[in-house]
Chains A and B, each alone.
Chain A
Amino acid sequence: MSVIVLAEHAQGSFKKKAFEAIQYASGIAQTLGTSVTAVVLGTASEAALQQLGAYGAQKVLHVSDARLDNLNSRAYTKALIAAAEKEGAKVIIATHDVTGRAVAPRVAARLKAGLIAGAVSHPDTSKGFVIKKNVFAGKGIAYLNITSDVKVVTLMPNTFPVKKGEGTAAVEALSVSFDDKDFGVTVKEVNKVTGAVPLAEAELVVSGGRGMKGPENWGVLEDLAGSLGAALACSRPVADSHWRPHHEHVGQTGGTIRPNLYIAVGISGAIQHLAGVNSSKTIVVINKDPEAPFFKAADYGIIGDALEVVPKLTAAVKKFKESQN
Chain B
Amino acid sequence: MKILVCISQVPDTTTKIAFSDNNTVFNTQGVTFIINPYDEWYSLVRALELKEAGVATAVNLVTVGKADVEPVIRKALALGGDEAIRIDADSNDPYVIASEIAAYAKSENYDLVLCGKETIDYNNGAVGPMLAELLDMNFIGFATKVDVAGGVATVTREIEGGEEVDSSALPLVISCQKGVAEARIPNMRGIMAARTKPLKVVASANVAPLSTIVSYDLPPAKTGVKMFTAEDMDALVSALHTDAKVI
Contact = CB atoms under 8 A, between A and B. Distances in A.
B57 interface: no
B120 A309 contact: no
Contact of A302 (B17, B125, B140, B230): B230
B113 to A, nearest CB: 14
A185 B139 CA distance: 8
Contacts of B212: 144-145, 147
Contacts of B49: none
Contacts of B26: 140
A291 interface: no
A35 to B, nearest CB: 25
Place the interface of chain A in its size category.
35 or more
Interface string A244-269: 00110100111000001100000000
B111 to A, nearest CB: 14
A113 B227 CA distance: 48
A190 B139 contact: no
B237 A317 contact: yes
A316 B225 contact: no
B238 interface: yes
A101 interface: yes
Given A144-B212, A300-B227, 5 more contacts: A114-B95, A116-B211, A200-B160, A304-B229, A320-B238
- Interchain residue pairs A-B with the least CB separation, the first 5: A198-B161, A114-B210, A316-B233, A192-B162, A105-B126
Interface of B: 11, 13-14, 17, 19, 26, 37, 41, 93-95, 98-99, 120-130, 132-134, 138-142, 154, 157-169, 178-179, 209-219, 222, 225-231, 233-234, 236-241, 244, 246-247
Interface of A: 10, 70-71, 73-74, 77, 97-99, 101-106, 108-110, 112-118, 127, 130, 133-148, 184-193, 198, 200-201, 203-204, 228, 246-247, 249, 252-254, 260-261, 271-272, 275, 281-282, 284-285, 295-304, 308-309, 312-313, 315-317, 319-320
10 contacts: A73-B139, A98-B159, A101-B125, A105-B124, A115-B210, A134-B219, A137-B123, A189-B164, A284-B236, A302-B227
